[in-house]
């Protein structure tokens, strides 16, 4: 059992991050618990992001001449650098498909198309600029909530993979869904969800609660959109949800923190 868990851990990090891992065979047995470790990648991103934020604060306090924009852009890029952009790829493919206003079958074909359309490029630019704008107003309190949010987005994304109907029988999401020990994975991810939710409410207070609510609303929208537009989820749609969830959580955390401070002041 320990060997299976270790192999599932390695597969999760090998698939969803660029962090070097020892090789492991991608068998059904080894992949069975991979989704249980998906939030660990979010924890890694959160730790790195919070660490970089603290370094930025330290350089500013020490009067080291590094422009704030550099740290803001670096924080925006950290998740993409660690994951290799796998979720952003899904976000862009989904934006192309949604913007096509074609039939369900045609939208699924667009998801598989390796070429980036105009809507994907425009969406990427808007997404990164909006994220940069939100991050320009970061505080230590909101950064801590956002760091925890990287785990939350992956918990919910993992739950969708082992719970929602699949739009097609082949593809990355279908492969992980079919090979997963679904009952155990759901239980583990729900335990992750409850524990993290409590921590976010205690640590983040109002911004933490707003972050949880925004993630929940995005999760409901994701399910409805996937079923209505595609007949189920795919790996690209799961990536789309993860990226959108992190953006709305960042907006909620930063906006909630600003509101609290303005009311207190």
Helix (H) or strand (E) holding 208: helix 182-230
**Number of structural domains the chain divides into:** 1
Q: How far apart are CA 225 and CA 219, in angstroms?
A: 10
Which position has the token pair 């690209």? 236
Q: What is the mean pLDDT of residues 82-102?
A: 89
User: According to the per-residue pLDDT averaged within each range, which of 18-22, 45-49, 67-71, 87-91 is highest?
Assistant: 45-49
pLDDT of res. 262: 82
Is 179 within a domain? yes
Phi, psi of 233 (to 5 degrees): -105, 160
Asked, for residue 13, whether it belongs to a domain, the answer is no
Task: Give the pLDDT confidence score for residue 178 in this predicted structure.
Answer: 61
| The pLDDT of residue 173 | 59
Burial 13-46 (b: 16+ CB within 10 A, else e): bbbbbeeeeeebeeeeebbbbbbbbbbbbbbbbb
At residue 71 the predicted structure's pLDDT band, cuts being 50, 70 and 90, is: very high
What pLDDT, on the 0 to 100 scale, is given for residue 179?
Answer: 58
Give dist(CA 214, CA 32) in Å, integer.
30
1 lies in some domain? no
**Higher confidence at residue 208 or residue 24?**
208
Q: Which domain holds residue 232?
A: 35-264
Residue 177 has pLDDT above 70, yes or no: no
Confidence class for position 104, pLDDT limits 50, 70, 90: confident
State the average pLDDT over residues 7-34.
Answer: 85
The answer to whether residue 173 sits within a structural domain is yes
| Average pLDDT for the chain | 89
d(CA 218, CA 153): 10
234 phi-psi bin (left φ>0, alpha ψ -120 to 50, beta other)? beta
- pLDDT, residue 98, reads 84
Packed helices 38-61 and 140-163: angle between N→C axes, nearest 10 degrees? 170
**pLDDT tens digits, one per residue of 135-147:** 999 999 999 999 9
Helical packing angle, 118-135 and 86-100, nearest 10°: 120
Position with higher pLDDT, 62 vs 85: 85
* Residue 219 covered by a domain: yes
The predicted structure's pLDDT at residue 81? 96
Per the domain annotation, does 23 fall within a domain? no
- Does any domain span residue 144? yes
pLDDT of residue 88: 94
Give the pLDDT band (50/70/90) at residue 220. Answer: very high
Mean pLDDT, range 106-121, rounded to an integer: 80
> Residue 47 domain-assigned?
yes
The pLDDT of residue 34 is 87
Helix 182-230 vs helix 235-264: angle between axes, to the nearest 10 degrees? 90
């Amino acid at each position: 059992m320990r060997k299976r868990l270790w192999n599932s851990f390695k597969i999760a990090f090998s698939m969803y991050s660029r962090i070097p891992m020892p090789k492991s065979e991608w068998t059904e047995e080894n992949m069975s618990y991979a989704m249980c470790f998906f939030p660990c990648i979010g924890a890694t991103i959160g730790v790195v992001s919070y660490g970089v934020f603290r370094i930025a604060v330290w350089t500013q306090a020490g009067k080291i001449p590094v422009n704030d924009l550099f740290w803001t852009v670096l924080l925006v890029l950290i998740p993409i650098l660690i994951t290799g952009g796998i979720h952003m790829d899904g976000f862009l493919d989904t934006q192309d498909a949604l913007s096509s206003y074609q039939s369900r079958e045609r939208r699924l074909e667009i998801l598989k198309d390796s070429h980036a359309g105009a809507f994907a490029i425009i969406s990427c630019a808007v997404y990164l600029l909006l994220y940069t704008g939100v991050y320009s107003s970061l505080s230590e309190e909101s950064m801590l909530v956002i760091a925890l949010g990287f785990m939350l987005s992956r918990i919910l994304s993992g739950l969708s993979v082992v719970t929602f109907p699949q739009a097609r029988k082949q593809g990355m999401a279908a492969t992980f869904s079919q090979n997963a020990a679904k009952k155990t994975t759901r239980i583990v991810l729900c335990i992750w969800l409850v524990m993290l939710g409590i921590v976010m409410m205690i640590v983040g207070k109002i911004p933490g609660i707003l972050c949880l609510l925004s993630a929940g609303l995005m999760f409901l929208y994701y399910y409805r959109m996937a079923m209505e537009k595609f007949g189920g989820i795919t790996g690209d749609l799961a990536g789309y949800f993860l990226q959108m969830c992190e953006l709305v959580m960042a907006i909620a955390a930063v906006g909630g923190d600003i509101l609290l401070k303005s009311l207190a002041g």
